[in-house]
Each structure stands twice: as structure tokens, then as C-alpha cells.
Amino acid sequence: MFELVKSMKVYKMQRILIFLLVVFISNFTTVYALNEEELVEYVPDKIEQISNGVDATLSKLQNNMYELNMDTSGLKTGYYTTYIYVNSSDDWSNYEGFQFKVENKSSSSIRINLDIKTRDGKVLSVPDKNVVMLKNIDREELEIYNPKYGTVEIPKDFNGEIYIPFNSMREKEEVLNEVIKVAGIDSWGIVATAAENENKDFLVGDFRLIKSGSNLKKYFEYNLEITGDKEVEIPVVGEGISDYKVIDTVENEDILEKGTVVEFKMKKDVNGVNISKDGRLTIHPDISPQEIEIESVINDTIVKNLKVNLLKSWTLTEKEVDGTKKSIPKENEVRSILDDKDEIYINRFIIIIRFFIVFISIFCVVLYIKWKNNLKRK
């Protein structure tokens, strides 16, 4: 009987420990990928392609994936696009977003965007400053991206998913608060843009529709921006300092005031450059002009980045009226007031003066003694 009670207690304790372990893991293990229940696979019957002069090749691969190669070698200065699209009558009004995989095999970043054409003639896409989210397979956090010049920049070596909220899509950029219902679709596609003399190669596919009420919905509504100098001069001496913070662009306030936890760091380490957790960027002299990227991790769940250009100080080339530089000179650039020869002459002059003073002093003492002796004789 005692053994039975003991085994029941052990079993109960094991269940409690397992429950606590599950709670611990659920609270501290972050999983941001959508599960299959939140997604609906979309397999297009046929994907077509059109380009405006660029040499482009679209190849169908396995698992609903496609490879697009764009070559603009020898073309005139400008931007060239390839549009891969699907002609299909769809109604996506019951979904909140679109997901697809991208693997950038190019030697540099690629620029893409999603276009949706409706039967009433509207063309929807994600305008600048609206939210798109990326998730690389090699990190847990979601990264917030904003289109620039009408395209989303996908970094070199990126391999993961792109999440495009339908509430980020607009017919016109200036209509920010418009409620979008993606219904009556006539066609949809992905636009890829490349400049002259470039070769872009990337995989795209595994298209999915995101059901309404997914666990990404709250992130889709984020409108965050890192504020601070986008161009910082490299100091000649001392340190260069620039402060950064993350604001909610809708309410125009620092998200720290809402109790949000923000931690800044460098996306890639750069010698002579560092940033504190609270967003103070420090730059030391003797580094070359370059582009760096700072990263803000928000509540350990999402990431927002900002590129900063480090520039050569303008004071290095500017001069005063008399021809001297306006910049503070470095220690090795400061000319000595006296050269070695001057110091030798001065030392000799000081020695002569000392001898002269000693001689005058002795002469005065001798005269005084003689005067005193003559006075006694009288």
C-alpha cells in the first residue's frame, strides 16, 4: 500500500513538472512561423512572365517553386522590370495577408513587390512606409521592412518567408487609412526590378494565403520607425556620437513610453563603431567612410533596422582665410613651435645668462667687501 501511494505521488509530481516545463517553454520559446492551420496553399495553374527589355528566364522547379534570372548586362542606364503573374479570378477578402518563400541567390540585394489587379481596374501594391515582414530561416525574430521607391529590398543571402498584410496594400500611397478588401481579383503577380549591368537570380514560390486572425495580425499593425541621423561624420579626433530611438509613426511617440523593451545593436560588427543598448552610436576616428546597419530588437520578437552612412568630415577639406584647416589637427599634425636647433640655441643662451648673473653677483660681492674694508681702515 505504501509503495502504491509513493508511486502515485511520484506520478503526480512528474505531471506537475511536465506542466511547468510546458508553461516555461511556451513563455520563453518564441515561435513566429505560421502553422498550417493558419495558411491556405495557393497553387497557380500557370505563371506567365513579361519584361521591359531585360533578358529574363523563368524556370519551374519542384514544390511550387520558381527560379527567375534577370540579366541587364550591356543595357542603357535605367531600371528594368520583370513581372511574373497569374491570371485568375479570386476573392481573398476573407484573408488578411499573403505569404511566399524567397531565396536570394544573387551577389547583391533584390527588389520586389506584390501587385494585385482587380476587375474594376485597381492596381494594389505596398507603398513606401507601409509594413512588410520578413523571416529568415536562420533567425527567430520577424524583421519589419518598408518599401522604398515602390519595392521591398530583399538582402543578399536571404532565405525565408515574406509576409504581406493586405491592410498594407494601397492603390495610391497617399490614402493611408483606407480599408482594403482584396476581392474581385483579375490577376496578381510579383514585380522584380534591376538596374543596368546587373544579374539577379532568386527563387520564389510556395504561395500561401494567411487566414484572418492569425498570430501575426498584431505585428501586421505595427508602424515603427527608427529616428536619428542617417548620415554621421567620422570624427577627426575624439568620438562622434548620435542617438537613436524607435517611434510609433501612427501616434508619433517613443515606444519606450508604452513600456516596450527595445535593445539596439549592430547588425554586423564594425571596428571603431559601436552602439549601446539604449541607442547611442559611438564612432571613433581612423575608420573609412562606409554604410553600417543598426538593429533594434523590440520585445525580443520583431526587428527594425536602419542604414547609416558614415561620411568623411567636411572640415578635412575646408580651410580658413589664412589657408589653415578648419578641422582640429591630430597630435602628429601639430607642428612644434621650436625645432631642435632653436632649442640648442636657447639652452646656450640660458647658460650664458646664468654665467653673466653669477659673474655680476660675484663682482658685486667683491666690491662690497672692498668697500667695507676701506671703510674700516678709515
Structural domains of the chain ordered from first start: 36-220 (2.60.120.430), 224-315 (2.60.40.10)
Question: Pairing between strand 245-248 and 273-275?
Answer: unpaired
Over its length of 378 residues, how does the chain's per-residue pLDDT go in tens digits? 445 444 555 455 555 444 444 444 444 434 455 777 889 999 999 999 999 989 999 999 999 999 999 999 999 999 999 999 999 999 999 999 999 999 999 999 999 999 999 998 889 999 988 899 999 999 888 999 999 999 999 999 999 999 999 999 988 655 555 667 788 899 999 999 999 999 999 999 999 999 998 888 888 878 889 999 999 999 988 889 999 999 988 778 888 888 889 999 999 999 999 999 999 999 999 899 999 999 999 998 899 999 999 998 766 555 555 555 555 555 555 555 556 666 676 777 788 888 888 888 888 888 878 777 777 766
